[in-house]
């Protein structure tokens, strides 16, 4: 299930992702532990391996396997993508071990305890999380606070000076909060301005942190940039989750959220809109920052996937038109004619 942009991970992952329905087995634990070891973070930060393993298992278990999309498989997928971005030349030669540690932790925990519904749903149903976080980045704040809770429960950083631990928690929160899609334009405009002014300095800790935020944002929504067969599966899963929310809203006579009405939307039109207005602008700027083979490959897949969805929509539209024409051609005067129903043609 996890694609290999970083081919060296393929042998590590093996078959740990046993399928969507099983929540990906232990993929998140296995991958994140391997990456901590790969970067030497266990030794550098004097992490207790038992505590680390316990912390990662708690993360895995805190994701909801019943969610079609926001589950531990997605977290592992984002962590794998984050690793690929951390390996890009501009980042690999500039990031500190602390940056890498925070980047991997943020990727693994960025959707922790996701309820499978979006922020507007939580707000309009007066959910306690919406009240707790004052209707602002409700899910992202919850993911961050949940991650901090597990860090403290596991005692992973208990051997560090208290101020260092608190600083790590704050920076972790800053990264996770950056994944709030409602703030997309804010981050993208800032990124674009830096690139236009050519003033990003990765020797500056604040600039490195900002680039880590952008890398995590890319990792979080990179599925349209993966090969078609894999990208299509992710698209189906996220749409399934949207439509499930829409069904709940209909059941309780709530206003159906945008993209969540299965009668008004298709996977194709949702994906084309998402690619056009969210993914393309972000990855175009990322390619300006990191003009590498990986960036060009991602943009290539993005273009091909968008074309594939457009083609599928055209086929569906053509099928519907053919059905209408066939229905119109049935002779009205022939009482013995048995016209087949055309409504199911596009399936």
* pLDDT value at residue 15: 33
pLDDT by residue (tens digit) across 65-103? 999 999 999 999 999 999 999 999 999 999 999 999 999
Quick: pLDDT tens for 298-322: 999 999 999 999 999 999 888 766 6
**Is 18 marked as a binding-site residue?**
no
* pLDDT tops 70 at residue 5: no
Rg of the chain over CA atoms, in angstroms?
Answer: 23
Cβ atoms of 97 and 47 closer than 8 Å: no
Of 183, 206, 6, 179, the residue nearest 108 (C-alpha)? 179
Q: Assign 327 a pLDDT band (cuts: 50, 70, 90).
A: low
Q: What is the DSSP letter of 67?
A: S
- Which of 2-6, 23-27, 107-111, 157-161 has the least mean pLDDT? 2-6
pTM of the full structure: 0.88
Kindly indicate the confidence band of residue 341, based on its pLDDT and cuts at 50, 70 and 90.
Answer: very low
**Residue 333, pLDDT score:** 42
Q: Is 74 marked within a binding site?
A: yes
Q: Would the annotation count 159 as a binding residue?
A: no
CB proximity list for 325: less than 8 A, separation 6 or greater: none
72 is in an annotated binding site: yes
What is the model's pLDDT at position 344?
35
pLDDT mean across residues, the chain? 89
107 annotated ligand binder: no
| pLDDT value, residue 33 | 98
Q: CB-based contacts of 75: which residues, under 8 Å, 6+ apart?
A: 28, 59, 63, 107, 108, 109, 110, 111, 112
**Catalytic annotation, pick one of 70, 114, 142, 143:** 70
Q: How many CA atoms lie within 13 A of 32 on its CB side?
A: 30
Mean pLDDT, range 151-168, rounded to an integer:
98
Q: Give the tens place of pLDDT for each residue, 240-294.
A: 999 999 999 999 999 999 999 999 999 999 999 999 999 999 999 999 999 999 9
Sign of CA dihedral 99, 104, 105, 109: positive
111 is in an annotated binding site: yes
pLDDT tens digits, residue range 40-53? 999 999 999 999 99
Say what percent of the chain tops pLDDT 70.
85
- pLDDT at position 318 is 80
Average pLDDT of 58-65?
A: 98
Q: Residue 220, annotated ligand binder? A: yes
* Res. 105: pLDDT tops 80: yes
> In this structure, is the dihedral angle defined by the CA atoms of residues 122, 127, 131 and 133, taken in order, positive or negative?
negative
Tell me: pLDDT of 296 over 60: yes
Q: Is 70 a catalytic residue?
A: yes
> What's the farthest any 2 CA atoms get from each other in the chain?
89
Q: What are the helix and strand counts (H, E) for the chain?
A: 17, 0
């Amino acid at each position: 299930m996890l694609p290999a942009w970083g081919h060296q991970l393929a042998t590590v992952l093996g078959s740990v992702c046993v399928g969507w329905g099983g929540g990906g087995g232990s993929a998140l634990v296995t991958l994140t532990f391997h990456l901590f070891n790969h970067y030497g973070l266990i030794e550098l930060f004097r992490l207790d391996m038992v505590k680390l393993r316990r912390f990662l298992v708690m993360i895995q278990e805190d994701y909801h396997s019943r969610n079609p999309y926001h589950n531990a498989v997605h977290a592992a997928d984002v962590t794998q993508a984050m690793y690929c971005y951390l390996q890009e030349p501009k980042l690999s030669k500039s990031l500190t071990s602390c940056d890498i540690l925070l980047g991997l932790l943020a990727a693994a925990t960025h959707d922790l305890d996701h309820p499978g519904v979006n922020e507007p749903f939580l707000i309009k149903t007066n959910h306690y999380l919406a009240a707790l976080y004052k209707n602002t980045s409700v899910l992202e704040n919850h993911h961050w606070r949940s991650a901090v809770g597990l860090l403290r429960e596991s005692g992973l950083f208990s051997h560090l000076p208290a101020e260092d631990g608190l600083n790590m928690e704050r920076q972790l929160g800053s990264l996770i909060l950056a994944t709030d899609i409602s703030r997309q334009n804010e981050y993208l405009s800032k990124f674009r301005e830096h690139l236009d002014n050519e003033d990003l300095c990765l020797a500056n800790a604040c600039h490195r942190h900002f680039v880590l935020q952008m890398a995590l944002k890319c990792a979080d929504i990179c599925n349209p940039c993966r090969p078609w067969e894999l990208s299509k599966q992710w698209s189906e899963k996220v749409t399934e989750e949207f439509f499930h929310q829409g069904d709940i809203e209909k059941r309780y006579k709530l206003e159906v959220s945008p993209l969540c009405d299965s009668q008004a939307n298709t996977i194709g039109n949702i994906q084309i809109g998402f690619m056009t207005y969210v993914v393309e602008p972000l990855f175009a700027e990322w390619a300006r920052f990191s003009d590498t083979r990986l960036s060009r490959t991602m943009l290539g897949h993005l273009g091909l996937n968008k074309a594939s969805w457009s083609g599928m929509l055209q086929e569906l539209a053509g099928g519907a038109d053919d059905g209408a024409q066939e229905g119109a051609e049935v002779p009205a005067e022939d009482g013995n004619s048995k016209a087949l129903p055309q409504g199911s043609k596009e399936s």
